[in-house]
Structure 1
Amino acid sequence: MGARRRTIATTAVIALVTALGAAACTSSPPGPQDAATALAAALESGDLDGVAFTPDVSADQAEKQRTDAYDAVVEALGEDALRVSLVSAETLEDDDALADAVLRFTWSTAGSAAADSERQWTYETTARLERDDEDVWRTHWASTILAPDLTVAEDLVVSRETPQRANVLGAGGEVLVEARDVFRVGIDKTFLPAAEAGAAARGLAAALEIDPDEYAKRVESAGDKAFVEAIVIRREDSYYDVPALRKLPGVNAIDDSLPLAPTRTFARPILGTVGTATAEIIEKSGGAIQAGDLTGLSGLQRQFDEQLRGRPGLRIDARGIEGSGSEGQARTLFTVPAVDGEPLQLTLDSLVQQSAENVLASVGPASAIVAIRPSTGEVLAAASGPGSQGLSTATLGQYAPGSTFKVVSALALLRAGLTPDSSVTCTDGITVDGRRFDNFPDYPAAALGDIPLRTAFANSCNTAFIGLRDETPQDAVVDAAGSLGLLPTQSLGFASFVGAVPSDSDGTDHAATMIGQGRVLASPLGMATVAASVAAGRTVTPHLVEPGSSSADDATDDSTSSAQASDDESDESSKDAETTDEPRPHVDLTSDEGAALRSLMRAVVTDGGAGFLRDLPGEVMAKTGTAQFGETDDLRNHVWMIAIQGDLAVAVFVDEGEYGSTTAGPLLTRFLESPVVAALTD
């Protein structure tokens, strides 16, 4: 029995040893897949230290060849432009110690992995791998791994073709912004010794009336051969004597062209400017924009820069390096044609815009005129005066609208059951929760007492509207504002603010809301929209950019307005308008409501404070507005007027003036009487 057991055990051991031996003899060496995958990752990253090469080359040598070959491409397309993936790694049929790894290279020519395939340079190369005696797969290095047929005597060279920047168009396709001849004036540091650059910069700055210290600092910190631009001068601008400037030490005036509007001031806060791309813009572009490129720097030029700029053309060549015997010789590996920019179509009418700017040219405080065509919502003019100091008061200003907001309050009252002929009470003053509200100082005594709503509106009786506050809760006023186009949450497709009416007002705040003060805010664009909605008999949404334009930065811009309205007769300037998290459902303006509001606005011209418009052609309708702001002992007035004439709605605003009728009124009259606008409203 024991002998039998030993026999069985011995047989089992022999069988196990035999099996293990057979397994050891038949195990396969490692395949090339892992080594090939690691090679692809290393080529993409540029760090080849982890790649095993055959003894004839080192990782350092391979990495230097890769860097030398790709330097120009990486500089042009960006460090993250390259992706390398493994297509296959298979041993040779007649030698399992050799393998070919097929690698796919993809360069994103727009600087982004999401670029469309037509602008991606994609190709495949083959790397030969060899398994050594220790079963390590090593790469036979060759420059052809990097690009098709690339030799060690060639580098990759990238050439860019700049596309033509598109024009900005106005109403009827008229060109507003196009390439115009200019002089780039600045200090050329190759013109004088480095030690004299600072003094030369200050001399030029003095002649141009710009900050000498700031410009000198820029010049002194620039490279030894740099040209440091100080100003761009239109060729036809006679204000500057360019020949005289050229005679100053170190000054160069380079002939060039830039996309410019008809004049230096024409709609500048809205259109923005074009210039050499800043470091910030270049960094954010992901490689699409390079140093020296022209880009939009502000306004619509920046917001719609991608559309206007187009996409550069690209050519990648393999070119012989210096000393190779074939230097200068090149063969093209990849090309992408340039795509010119697409025009940006706006609704601005150049003649109407220029008329508005002419009217505002001598106004000292911040000011604006906005004109809208009610039938379409097209913004024909959005002018900001010189007192706005480059800000777009017209589209971004935030001010208490004063009595122009009574159009909104009147709509809320109409919805509460009143009519233009309903009797209301207008007193000298009214007190709400201990706070007294008065009419404006020159309010006519004949319009006091029990009077029709039409008369109270025409003469702008504050006390009548405040006295009716219980008829129109704050929600009703918010709804009425929305019906007239003051929708704070809507995006108009460009940097804009229309208005904001707080939803949580009560007491004195609600009373102030009824007369367009307190925390109510509006822009001239917003109040022109109110007038346009009344004219059209429906809610008008203004538009400045025609449909079809695309923007990566839908309604943001560097040009933001810091102008804020203050409360009437109190120091509440730090309180911003608050709105509910969820906007109230929109209520459309009806044609009957529009007709009633037009009759009220017509009464302002025939029987109220805008009688100076009575002789203008057509049935002009208007509303005046004055909103107090500042400290109690130093109250000042924002002044407004809105008007309708034919298919034209206008808002005029001046940051500080006397009354709407006496300060904004003459500006409105001049605008409506200008030949261009008069022809438009015939």
Structure 2
Amino acid sequence: MKRTAAIVCLSSLLITAGCSDSKPGAGGKPDPNDEKQASAEVVKQFADAWVTAWAPDGKPDAAAAFTDNPTVFGKRLDDVDSALIANTVKVTPQGDPKCTDGNNCTQDLAVEADLRGIGTMKWTSTATAVKTGDAWKIKASGDTIYPGLGEANYLKRVRALPARAAILDRNGAALTANRPVVIVGVTSGTVATPATYAAFTKNLDVDGAKLAARAKAAPAGQFVEAITIRSEEWNRLRPIMGKLPGVLTMGGTQSLAATPTFARSIIGTMRTATEDTLKNAGPSASASDQVGTTGLQYAFQQQLAGTPGGTVTLRDGKTKLTIKTVFSQQGTVGKPVKTSLDTKMQQAAEAALATSKLPASLVAVQASTGQVLAAANGPTPASYNRAFQGRYAPGSTFKIVTSAALLGSGETAATKLPCTNTINVFGKSFKNYDGLAAYGAGTMQKAFNESCNTAFISQHARLPKDGMTKAAAMFGIGRDLDLSISAYGGSVPAPKDDTAEAASMIGQGTVTASPLAVALIGAAVDHGTAMKPVLVPGKDAAGAAASPLPAATVAALRTFMRTTVTNGTAHLLAGNGAVAAKTGTAEVVQKGKVVTNGWMVGYRGDVAFAVIVEGGVSGGKAAGPIVQNFLSHTK
């Protein structure tokens, strides 16, 4: 019999790495009388169950069932998981079991636990398998989880976040710093009263009704976050909010600009991580972290945050003193993000917009490089970046592009364009803005200076159907803007008919652009070549966005824009140096009513700019004063 077994084993060596005289029991199960085979099997089952126990939403019951004291061990395994805050774990039996007799065997376990927000901790523990009757069980000891835990000792983790790196301006000055904040919220349940939630709505612009619903739905004893504010703001509100039933606060720090308004839509905002922002923050982030939610804070979250460090210590269960440090990982500091923003110009832009009573945006770019010098939205701070993402009809500012198209078709600055009160294109009647009276025959330059819609539309037959689309491409309009944060590059689709083409010639119909895209039109005239916009040098695509404009076209457009200031609709800017500009008024339909947006685009020196005022009566009257204010503070 043994000879036969030896022959089988010999032939099996051709297929397997080893052989045993022991045979599995019935049904392919390990033979309970073969201590190595039986103990190895229970250790493997226990290891697999441990992995499941420490998986997200895992429970320790299955792993505990393989031990000789499930009730005690299950809680112990769960407590260690909670202490380490493990995302997942790998548990791999090592080598062969070592058996002292037929009832006791040991086998090492290689353990790798992913500690949420820190990194991977590795250790080796030992599982002791004991035979109880006909069954093999794992001895319910803390040492099975981690060596030295025993019956009373415990593990304690500490996570250390490095200081968040700053966002810098073009000269390397810090635009953000880690400043003290207060996270304001309520306790879960029904402790907070209607007066509490009303105070959140009134004083913190938080939807009190939604906060109340969240509080009632949250588990007992939980802090329900409402808003994070600067500590100085909380100090002001403490007498009003601090004593209301259910109000809770937590202190912390957050990367913030010097004021709540400064470059807010560019720098972005931060708050406690949500499911979505936690994914963006990367594997080293934790659900309790303050992370970027919009703007550059979101786009460069991982670079700015760096990586956290941490330690895990083995503590004495009675004295609570540290026995030894069993894991340590050094954090890495974040790296600053240097932008193209000019601090003084950004401040000037925000101050200029603060004078408006209507929603407005201003963008300034360096014409020769496309670098964004300022981008602001006002008159009140907003996280939504209208300056980059707004999709507006550019109105008469688009006559820069139309003029380029007509000049390219063979017309000149002196070509006669009739300015009439109205013009009909295949049944569609177009008119001029209300402040312009028809003057009859005049040059293209005069039509540009006076912003006569009918004069330009009268030339629609000169252009091919895709004429405006191609002309817009010369200014970089209609391409994706590969910026670090979301931005809209405009759209000038080929018109479906002559009426649509006529509308596109005055920046209406299907033509749309952001204030950034319009500023780049002005920059292209100033520099002679359309440049790609850049907000983060070295990260954003840079260089020319199109071939250089024809020299004759550039010369004519520069004259057109300069004389619009000296003797046209942008005359308000005449006292602000060698400014060149174009005004614009765009009609839009809002809630069934036709309203106008006021535009102005231009340049001075190497700085090009664009301003839009939503609901502004005209570019000269609404956008003009804002541009004038901006230019007066950026000399």
CA drift at 1:412 = 2.4
Q: 1:516 to 1:526 in 2, by over 3 A?
A: same
Cα-to-partner distance string for 1:45-66 (whole Å, 9 max, x where unaligned): 2388888999x82666655543
Aligned pairs for 1:128-167 within 5 A = 143-167=142-166
The code of the aligned residue for 1:616 comes to N
1:71/1:286 CA distance change after superposition, 3 Å: farther
Match of 1:644 among 603, 618, 622: 603
2:530 counterpart of 1:539: yes
Distance in 2, Cα, partners of 1:212 & 1:39: 49
1:651 positional shift: 0.4
| Superimposed CA distance per residue, residues 1-31 of structure 1 (whole angstroms, 9 cap, x where no aligned partner) | xxxxxxxxxxxxxxxx998688689972258
Q: Deviations over 1:30-81 (max 9, x none)?
A: 5857666545433322388888999x826666555433333322xx232xx2
Match of 1:106 in 2: 112
CA drift at 1:370: 0.8
The residue that corresponds to 2:449 in the other structure is 458
Cα offsets for 1:263-292 (capped at 9, x unmatched): 222222332322333465457767644354
- Give the equivalent residue in structure 2 for 1:364: 357
Cα distance in 1 between the residues matched to 2:167 and 2:589 = 40
Mapped pair 1:623 → 2:632: no
Match of 1:659 among 598, 618, 631: 618
Alignment of 1:474-623 (within 5 A): 474-503=465-494, 505-548=496-539, 587-590=546-549, 592=551, 593-618=553-578, 620-623=579-582
Q: Quick check: 1:69–1:154 contact (8 Å CA) kept in 2?
A: no
Find 1:302's aligned residue among 277, 298, 301. 298
Q: Deviations over 1:520-556 (max 9, x none)?
A: 111111101111122121121112233359xxxx9xx
Equivalent position SS for 1:165: coil
1:433 aligns with 2:426: yes
* Contact residue 487 and residue 498 of structure 1 kept, 8 A: yes
- Partners of 2:438 and 2:495 lie apart in 1 by 35
**CA separation of 1:423 and 1:632: change in aligned 2, threshold 3 A:** farther
CA separation of 1:611 and 1:70: change in aligned 2, threshold 3 A: closer
* Cα distance in 2 between the residues matched to 1:182 and 1:60: 44
- Pairing 1:180-329 to 2, within 5 Å after superposition: 180-182=179-181, 197-198=192-193, 201-202=196-197, 204-205=199-200, 208=203, 210=205, 213-214=209-210, 234=230, 240=236, 242-243=238-239, 246=242, 257-278=253-274, 281-282=277-278, 288-321=284-317, 325=318, 327-329=320-322
CA contact (8 A) 1:104 1:122 kept: yes
Distance 2:225 2:65 in 1: 51
**What letter corresponds to residue 655 of structure 1 in structure 2?**
E
Distance in 2 between residues matched to 1:317 and 1:476, nearest whole Å: 71
Alignment gaps of 5+ in structure 1? 1-16, 555-584
**1:547–1:383 distance in 2 versus 1, CA, 3 Å:** same
* Larger CA deviation: 212-221 vs 271-280: 212-221
1:245 deviates by: 5.4
DSSP 3-state at the match of 1:499:
coil
Matched-pair contact (CA < 8 Å) for 1:413–1:472: yes
Q: Distance in 1 between matches of 2:600 and 2:235?
A: 35
Distance 2:3 2:248 in 1: 89
Query: What residue in structure 2 maps to residue 10 of structure 1?
Result: none
- Number of equivalences: 603
AA in 2 matched with 1:301? Q
- Say if 2:177 is the partner of 1:178: yes
In structure 1, give the amino acid aligned to 2:617.
E
Describe how 1:10-29 pairs up with structure 2 within 5 A.
28-29=21-22
- CA distance in 2 between counterparts of 1:533 and 1:393 reads 22
| Secondary structure of 1:513 counterpart | helix
The residue type equivalent to 1:315 in the other structure is T
Gap change, CA 1:671 and 1:229, over 3 Å in 2: same
- Residue range with higher mean Cα deviation, 97-106 or 463-472: 97-106
- Could you tell me the TM-score, scaled by structure 1's length? 0.76
Counterparts of 1:21 and 1:652, CA distance in 2: 91
Contact 2:476 2:545 in 1 (8 A): no
Deviation at 1:595, TM superposition (A): 3.5
* 2:90 aligned residue: 83
For residues 440 and 328 of structure 1, do their structure 2 counterparts lie closer, same or farther at Cα, with a shift above 3 Å needed? same
Give me the whole-angstrom Cα distance separating, in 1, the residues matched to 2:362 and 2:343.
14
Kept in 2: contact 1:346–1:546 (CA 8 A)? yes
1:461, distance to aligned residue in structure 2 (A)? 2.6
Instruction: Say which SS state the counterpart of residue 521 (structure 1) adopts.
Output: coil
The CA deviation string for residues 353-392 of structure 1, in whole angstroms up to 9 with x for no partner, is 2222222224233211111111222212111113686532
Range 250-259 or range 414-423, more displaced: 250-259
SS in 2 for 1:635: strand
Q: Structure 2: how far apart are the matches of 1:239 and 1:104?
A: 52
Asked whether 1:66 is paired with 2:47, we answer no
Structure 1 residues 198, 481: closer, same or farther in 2, change over 3 A? same
Q: Which residue of 1 aligns with 2:631?
A: 672
> For the structure 1 residues 319 and 370, does the alpha-carbon distance in structure 2 shift closer, same or farther, using more than 3 Å as the test?
same
Amino acid in the other structure paired with 2:83: A
Shift of residue 255, structure 1, vs aligned partner: 6.3
Contact residue 270 and residue 292 of structure 2 kept, 8 A: yes
Corresponding residue number in structure 2 for 1:43: 50
2:120 maps to: 120
Output one character per residue of 1:483-525: Cα deviation in whole Å (capped at 9) or x when no partner: 2122442321102213111135332112211111001111111
Question: How far has the Cα of 1:301 moved from its partner?
Answer: 2.2
Q: Distance in 2 between matches of 1:464 and 1:482?
A: 23
CA separation of 1:299 and 1:197: change in aligned 2, threshold 3 A? same
Matched-pair contact (CA < 8 Å) for 1:455–1:607: no
| Aligned counterpart, 1:467 | 458
TM-aligned CA distance change 1:151 to 1:188, over 3 Å: closer
Letter in 2 for 1:157: K
Quick one: structure 1 residues 142 and 474, their matched pair in 2 at CA, closer, same or farther if it must change by over 3 Å? farther
Range that drifts further, 421-430 or 483-492: 421-430
Q: Considering only aligned residues, what root-mean-square deviation do their CA atoms show, in Å?
A: 4.2
Can you list the C-alpha shifts for 1:159-182, whole angstroms capped at 9, x where unaligned? Answer: 111221222222312222223345
Distance 1:96 1:89, change over 3 A: farther
Cα offset, 1:467, TM superposition: 2.8
**What SS does the corresponding residue of 2:387 show, helix, strand or coil?**
helix
**Which stretches in structure 2 are left out of the alignment for 5+ residues?**
11-19, 24-35, 54-58
Counterpart amino acid of residue 529 in structure 1: L
In the alignment, the residues of structure 2 paired with residue 25 and residue 498 of structure 1 have an alpha-carbon distance, to the nearest angstrom, of 74
User: Match of 1:57?
Assistant: 68
